[in-house]
Amino acid sequence: MRIDRSTGRAHEHWLTRLGSRARAENGVALVLALLVVSALSISTAAIALLVTSNEHAFGRDRQETLAFNTGEAGLNYAIATLAKTTDPNGNAAIGTTVPATSYGASGIGGTGDGVWWATKTAAHIWKVYATGTSPNGQVTREVSIQVKSKTVPGTVVPASLAWSFGLFVANPTSCFSPQGTVDLTISVYVNGDMCIGGSAGIAEPAGSGGGTIKIYAKGKINLQSGSSHIGSSSNPTGYVANVTALNGCFPAKGVICSNIPTSKVWAKSYTPSGSPITKPVVDPNGTYAAGDWKNPVCSVGSFTFDNDTTRNTSVVGVNLFPASSYDCSVKAVGDPSTQIGRLAWNAATKVLTITDVIYIDGNLNIGSNTQVRYSAGSFGTLYIDGSVTTNGGSSLCGPPAVPAGSVCSTKWNGSLGSLFIVAVNHQNATTGWKMNGNAEFDVGLYIVGLYDNGGGAVVTGPIVTDQANAGGSSSSADVTNPPPGTPGSTTTAPGATNWAVIPTTWRQCPVTGCP
């Protein structure tokens, strides 16, 4: 401050006045700053509230989408199940329903849970429903659709007619001649000439009532001695059902086969023509390649099916009926969840069980006095990569029969259980199947090469072979339909399944559900 000498008044210094002004301006700035901060705080809160609201809305939208997608997935599950399992051939009755079936995956990262159900409302028409629930369980969506089945059933290919004969000789190297002095009492097919000499013949089995045996020669039939015969003169019980010889039927005295005494070929009918039958094709490579034979899964004991993953008849000393039990299954190559076949042996009860297809990479020798049976419910095909030899005093009986020494107690019923054996004869041995001594085997046989049975042993099932030395046999069990896996067994060609959505039938159901 300074004093004005002329007036005596004190005056403020200009700096002081400037400081007062600055303080006033700072106050105004502070007020303005506070207003700005308040405004920003309000805006931030509003923005935060908006973000929270959007997050909540977005979360519900996501749950709704997941619930909807889960419902849509249920329709897909339903159609697949109907086409594959419930109505694969389109034969399900109208009104058939599928009750509520659950599917889906809940929890963190899940897609949600769902339920589908369906009703067949008309011929080939299904109405399908599905409800999807979101992973958090708070949103549900229900959808429905109608589908039309266009299923075409697979074509059934019946078993080869070769199995309708007790003995089918596909590639005889010379004229087929029954051996020994006992009649063959089975139907016979020869893809060539048939020569019947000595006292042997072909006849109806005892008690048949006649008309059960059929004879077919793609070449000619020759009766070469006065005592050789087909059937007998006892009408009707001795007459065979039919005789076919494409190149003629000639008894010993040059008489054309007929029901006259000099013919000695007694049949209900004579057929001069007919379509030849081919031997079913065997596929050992494909059968072997399908299974992991070196690594069986055994719940009891052990069994060696193969020892080197190569089809080479490498297993030595194959014994199907050892002193200890085993129960082994073989899985598909690359798919351990699929079983190719199962083979089990109970050493205490002497019972073999087989299902599906089994391949043993070796030769099989069934020892003398081996007397066993296979269980009811066994339906399987046993492939032997090499050859098979059976010995006297043995028996392998099919249900319901049990061993009674070298024979079986009663006739095998193939509807209760059926075992067919395929002798692949990989090493091209002279004989694919050799039978020695007295024995009975209730099995069917498929043989590559020669079937050699001098007459003391009996095979009651059908035999398909290339060549045969065969003596007398008991009546066939007439098992004309081998188990799946046997060459020439009944198969079903794949059908066509083309299920289609009926246009305009899709709908999202209201909260109250679809009608």
451-500 pLDDT tens trace: 999 778 899 999 999 999 987 666 677 788 899 999 999 998 887 778 88
Residue 163 within a domain: no
Structural domain tally of the chain?
4
What pLDDT is recorded for position 254? 59
What pLDDT is recorded for position 230? 92
Q: Within this chain, do residues 291 and 417 fall inside the same structural domain, yes or no?
A: yes
390-426 pLDDT tens trace: 999 999 999 999 999 999 999 999 999 999 999 999 9
Residue 4 within a domain: no
Q: Within this chain, do residues 327 and 469 fall inside the same structural domain, yes or no?
A: yes
Residue 49 φ/ψ region, left for φ over 0, alpha for ψ in the -120 to 50 degree band, beta for the rest: alpha
Q: What is the Cα–Cα distance from 277 to 175, expressed in whole angstroms?
A: 18
What pLDDT is recorded for position 85? 87
The C-alpha angle with vertex 164 and arms to 159 and 169, in degrees rounded to 5, equals 105
pLDDT band for 58, please (50, 70, 90 cuts): very low
Count Cα neighbours of 59 within 13 Å in the Cβ-side half-sphere: 10
Whole-number Cα distances in Å, 391 to 113, 137, 343, 438, 470: 64, 72, 22, 8, 16
Kind of pairing, strands 249-250 and 221-223? parallel
Q: Which of 283-292, 341-350, 448-457 has the least mean pLDDT?
A: 448-457
Phi, psi values for residue 374, rounded to 5°: -115, 150
- Please say which residue of 278, 306, 338 terminates a domain: 278
Residue 205 within a domain: yes
Q: Within this chain, do residues 293 and 222 fall inside the same structural domain, yes or no?
A: no
Residue 259 within a domain: yes
Mean pLDDT value across the chain:
85
pLDDT exceeds 70 at position 2 = no
Q: Within this chain, do residues 355 and 423 fall inside the same structural domain, yes or no?
A: yes
Which span out of 74-88, 92-106, 135-149, 281-295 was modeled with the highest average pLDDT? Answer: 281-295
Q: Within this chain, do residues 459 and 409 fall inside the same structural domain, yes or no?
A: yes
Q: Within this chain, do residues 243 and 358 fall inside the same structural domain, yes or no?
A: no
Strand partners, 449: none
Residue 6 within a domain: no
Which uninterrupted H or E stretch holds 75?
helix 14-81
The closest alpha carbon to 181, from 202, 200, 196, belongs to: 200
pLDDT exceeds 70 at position 11 = no
Residue 295 within a domain: yes
- Please say which residue of 257, 278, 299 terminates a domain: 278
Give mean pLDDT, residues 262-275. Answer: 86
| Tokens read off for 281 | 């094709």
Q: Which residues make Cβ contacts (< 8 Å) with residue 423, sequence separation at least 6?
A: 384, 386, 387, 388, 432, 433, 445, 446, 447, 448, 449
Looking at residue 200, its amino acid is A
Q: What is the Cα–Cα distance from 438 to 396, expressed in whole angstroms?
A: 12
pLDDT exceeds 80 at position 151 = no
Residue 162 within a domain: no
Residue 515 within a domain: no
Whole-number Cα distances in Å, 370 to 345, 350, 394, 439: 14, 10, 5, 9
16-41 pLDDT tens trace: 444 444 454 555 455 455 554 455 55
Q: Within this chain, do residues 371 and 479 fall inside the same structural domain, yes or no?
A: yes
pLDDT exceeds 50 at position 14 = no
Cα torsion angle, 318, 320, 326, 331, sign: positive
Output DSSP code: residue 184: B
Determine how many CB atoms are found less than 10 A away from the CB of residue 369. 13
Q: Within this chain, do residues 41 and 104 fall inside the same structural domain, yes or no?
A: no
What pLDDT is recorded for position 7? 44
Q: Within this chain, do residues 196 and 302 fall inside the same structural domain, yes or no?
A: no
Q: Which of 133-137, 189-193, 488-492 has the least mean pLDDT?
A: 133-137
pTM above 0.75, yes or no: no
Q: Within this chain, do residues 251 and 382 fall inside the same structural domain, yes or no?
A: no
Between 363 and 453, the more confident residue is 363
Q: Within this chain, do residues 452 and 305 fall inside the same structural domain, yes or no?
A: yes
- Please say which residue of 241, 263, 278 terminates a domain: 278
Write the DSSP assignment of 18-45 as a string of letters.
HHHHHHHHHHHHHHHHHHHHHHHHHHHH
Determine how many CB atoms are found less than 10 A away from the CB of residue 354. 26
Looking at residue 173, its amino acid is T
What pLDDT is recorded for position 495? 78
289-308 pLDDT tens trace: 999 999 999 999 999 999 99
Q: What is the Cα–Cα distance from 45 to 319, expressed in whole angstroms?
A: 87
Between 475 and 368, the more confident residue is 368
pLDDT band for 311, please (50, 70, 90 cuts): very high
Give mean pLDDT, residues 327-350. Answer: 96
pLDDT exceeds 60 at position 363 = yes
What pLDDT is recorded for position 136? 84
Q: Within this chain, do residues 237 and 366 fall inside the same structural domain, yes or no?
A: no
Domain span holding position 272: 172-278
